Structure 1
Amino acid sequence: MTATLLLAEAPFRDLLSRALLTHAQLHLPHAPPLLVATRAAGAPPGFAPVPPGTLPPGIGQVVIAGAFLDRAALEGALNVAGRALATGATLRVHALALEGEAARREAPAGIEVLERAAAIRLRDHRTLNVLTLWRLAAPARIDPYPERHVLPDPALAAGLPAGPILGLAIRGGEEMRRSWAPRVPALRRLLAPAAGWPVLPLPTLPPGMTGDDLSGSHDFAEAVLPGAPWLLPELADPAVWRRQLSPARLKGLAARCRVVVTNRDLAASLAIGAGVPVLGIALGADRRIVSCLATLANELPRGSELVHPRPGPA
């Protein structure tokens, strides 16, 4: 079998990227290792790094996979895919999610190459809407949030205390704080049944990254659940986060929770896959949690709910 080249935006930058690219590795036919275009010097087992923008010799299959937020990164992947098609390679699209600048109304340069894809599999309905807006005629299939099927790794959960635990993953940043701060009274009422439970962060991003959901969760918990014990504080160390966390271990942590409160679709999908109720908190302009719970509505564990908290007095 000829070599396969995987094209993604900043591969393995966070747990969502790791989950979706690992899903591609497990479910796409290819001769290992799976070549991945990355600026990093190394790659996880089963992958081999190649410089971005290059087309190594002997490529018989190109795969565009994972979440794209940056328009330039998406256009770069389409460019490499077009060059590969010109050499006779096949093209597949796997677990694609288009967000932010990548999902702008105007079609990106090179979008026509997707018309020649052997298969297009998308992560969510919003991405299908974007491709429809771009007038893509090629048939696409939605395989919703496939990362939820990863097998949980209980390694980090083994040392957690007995009793109910509240899982928490709230996107960080000033825009998010401006959204939840006036809603603290409503959020306190919502989470009153969890008063006194220890809080377990479910961070999907490395600490310090834009949108850091560990610091965001910590600030949220201090405001909404003051005095609640905070579990696994060592995850605030970026080196510990990178060494200890994986999509499987994050699912293992989510599986240990009585309920997961989040506006992160990855944390929600893993909790749903583990059978744990999810309280999806719709905050700010980001509607990914809305899309996730709406798409997986028929699979939501009992007790799950999508909440639009209103600002107001205590």
Structure 2
Amino acid sequence: MTELQQGLVVSHLGKGIAVEVGEQTMLCQTLRKLDTVVVGDQVLLSLSGPEQGRIEQILPRRSVLQRPSRGDQVRPVAANLDTIFVVFAAEPECDFLLLDQYLAICENCNIGAALVFNKVDIPCNGSILEELKIYEALGYRLHRVSAKQQSGLDELKQVLRDQTAMFAGQSGVGKSSLTNALIPDRTLRTNSVSATTRHGRHTTTAATLYHLPAGGDLIDSPGVAIFGLAGLSEAQLAWGYREFQPYIGQCKFNDCRHAGDKDCAVRAAVESGSISATRYQRYLKLREKMPPANRS
């Protein structure tokens, strides 16, 4: 029996998958019976030719990020992420509803979450700063940076060491500028993977894993600006609000929706000021955005 080698999936190239095995990058195909292989997966592969292989097995994932697919389906986009860094800025205007959506998904996917406030060189609305204090009080780490002025990046590099991370956020907040600042030779590296695997041009929407110069891995996924509520149930959405968690078990009814329900401990905590009213209002909005099948 052929001995299987372990590798790390670093990119999708057309119909092939680029897998790093030690210092070598190989172009691989997958067994049809396998689930979707995604960037960040650790896999076992067999050799099928020079610098070519076949993925035989996906090793257990410690986390997986999904996004909505056709119909009510979801599909994985990245695996084994430790932290998603939600990037936002004063311009374009900060979408706190989207930010809460990202955080709720992280809370339910065994993925850590942190905030990156980019473009700190631009004057900022005081209400944004007040809202950010709420997230910091909840334990979300906030990094203030300017990719343009290269400020705050050294601290961010240190945090990114020894973990696999991804940037997420609305369009225009500077995710690409931030990635380019952290990986100055990104285009060169991308072209190198394509050349090594002899598979022509790398597609711009493909997720790619980069090893950061200061340590750690960054999965860059241009096509994942918004990954939706990704199949969360109503109960999972509520759990995704970190400050709700101590109160959920105190509600009178096990299936409490934390909306107009009688004797809801979450709503009582909002009324007493223990839970932010603005975060709670955004929870209600996200709940309304969920497909009816996901709501009780």
* Same fold by TM-score greater than 0.5: no
Q: Which has the higher contact order (CA 8 A, sep 6+)?
A: 2
Greater share of strand: 2
Larger Rg: 2
Tell me the TM-score normalised to structure 1 length: 0.30
Tell me the TM-score normalised to structure 2 length: 0.31
Greater share of helix: 1
